[in-house]
Structure 1
Amino acid sequence: MRRTGTTRRSALTATGALALGAVLTGCGSDEDSGGQQGNASADARAAAARAQTALRAAAARASSSLLARYDEVVTAHPATAAGLAPLRSAVQEHTSALGGPPKGTARPAPTAPATGAKAALQALAAEERRVADAHTQTLLTAEPELARLLASVAAAGAAHAYLLTELAKESSS
């Protein structure tokens, strides 16, 4: 005698047929929208590349600004030139590694701070810390290669800040 109504076997068969239909329909719709997905993927990659370029340019601007600050201090206090030369050289290399200052950006002419050498070195150390912190924040959203570079530059900036603080302690004015 045959049972009437829904059996477990017929329910499983119906569910399997529906699932198979959904899979086949899904495969067909992927083929139809493949071009749209390809365009969206290309757009996303282009947007990510633009974002990375913008991050690199911002980091280069910050390093270029720091380099200008070194020049200001050396111009205002020539006695600090020997102590700042290796640090300034490293900052210049960091700026180059980040792509240099953005095209069309003129570096401001150095202005002589009205403070003494000690205060100027302390201000330069504070600027090094600020730029190192900015690089550290930027590396959180950067791609791996740029993040490694920014981490290295930020670590060097922190070391520079320490050295500048020590140099300021040794300074007479």
Structure 2
Amino acid sequence: MKTLFFLLVLSISSLAFAQSEDLKIYWSEETHLTWEDFKGVPLEKTLFHANTNTGLSYSWGLKGTSQRMELDYKVETFFYPEQSWVQPASKSEYLLKHEQLHFDISELHARKLRKLLANVDGSKLNKDSRDYLNKLYEKIDKERSAMQKAFDKESNHSLNTEAELKWQKFVEDELTKLEEFS
């Protein structure tokens, strides 16, 4: 049996490609961020108390025979410790939950991408399908970025506790709805 295998690894973070060499913490249901995970240097002139840098990566390949191809994929959510920081005087459990929610929003979008990829008919893909799959990824990543911005805007970067609680509940519910894609 002839195996056809194409691999594309695409790692895009919220800020830059150069971060791909940095240490990453992968999202897990059991593991939550701690302030010790924030190893970056805080910006000197900023109004923000902390910054969480997260991203998604995916890889895919086609495997099988010429009669039956299947899409094989992997989607991961990660946090960049070296690119994430907190102002020392701002450390609180409340702010840490806000920063964790940024990480959770990235995982929510990883689940959305896994769901999309799970529904792709591998038999219709070929070596030219890279653009199609990249467009799926780009769509989800744009949605992720927009949700991150909306979360910060509506919660006023964690200062609006009512909005913060609303977002916590919303993300928790959405993660639960997509639990089969975790």
TM-score, normalization: structure 2?
0.26
TM-score, normalization: structure 1?
0.27
Q: Normalized per residue, which structure has more strand?
A: 2
- Computing the radius of gyration from Cα coordinates, the structure with the larger value is 1
Q: Normalized per residue, which structure has more helix?
A: 1
